[in-house]
Amino acid sequence: MGSKSEARKIRKAQKVQRFNERKEKSLETAIADRMPRVRDEPKEDGGPRVSGALANRIESFQKQPRAQKGGSRFSCKVTWCDSRADLDGAWTWGEPRLWTTAEWSDEIEPAFHHFQCLTWGEVDKMASGSGHKMHHEHEIDDLIKEAKDRWLSLGLEQYDTVFRFRLDGRKRVWGLIVQAHFHIVWWDRKHKIYPVD
């Protein structure tokens, strides 16, 4: 009987020894796998490596100027949209913020089709008969309190100036300029957002 139990103990010890050898070999392999097998030299520009299709899109995007040299918009053509227009509700003087279809098609849209043929420099030079600039920026603090509060409620607090286009008589279009793009915010039929005597 002694020989069988001794043989069993030997087999068990050998099994434990083989397990420990395999365990050490596995650990060595795992540690070795953490190191890169082939080391690539970093690109000279230090940027990430991207697929060919993505690289082409990035290249075409980089060719498009994001802003003019020096940050000036004056040599750029006017572009515009109404994606940030505030069309909900009405002002306290009873004027709805939403323009009518007739106002849009007869007054606002034709005026902006004209403006988009001009550069911002040309728009800046336009003057009324009295010599005042027709289209220009205002500080947000120059507006009536209701307009200032509305500006903040629209989440536009990062813009401290507002641009105003004069369309006809007392009619104004107020908005913001991002680079050379004008975003319409308000249609002001009676010049109430920035009152004058």
Condensed to tens digits (0 to 9), the pLDDT of residues 90-104 reads 999 999 999 999 999
Q: Based on the domain organization, do 90 and 152 belong to the same domain?
A: yes
Residue 196 lies in a domain: no
Alpha carbon 3 to its chain's center: 82
Residues 75 and 140 in one domain: yes
Confidence (pLDDT) at 103: 96
Q: Is the pLDDT of residue 105 over 90?
A: yes
Residue whose tokens read 């392999």: 29
How many other CB atoms are found less than 10 A from the CB of residue 177? Answer: 18
For residues 110 and 85, state if they share a domain: yes
Q: Which residues are within 8 A (CB) of 112 and not within 5 positions of it... i.e. 6 or more apart?
A: 78, 80, 165, 173, 184
pLDDT at 60: 62
Reported as a single tens digit per residue, the pLDDT across 162-176 is 999 999 889 999 999
Q: Do 140 and 159 form a contact (C-beta atoms < 8 A)?
A: yes
Instruction: Compute the half-sphere exposure of residue 48: CA atoms within 13 Å on the CB side of its CA.
Output: 5
Q: Which of 62, 81, 105 is the last residue of a domain?
A: 62
Question: Residue 63 pLDDT more than 50?
Answer: yes
Which pLDDT belongs to residue 58? 66
User: What's the confidence (pLDDT) of residue 32?
Assistant: 62
Instruction: Say what the pLDDT of residue 118 is.
Output: 96
| Cα 93 from Cα 105, distance rounded (Å) | 24
Same domain, 76 and 17: no
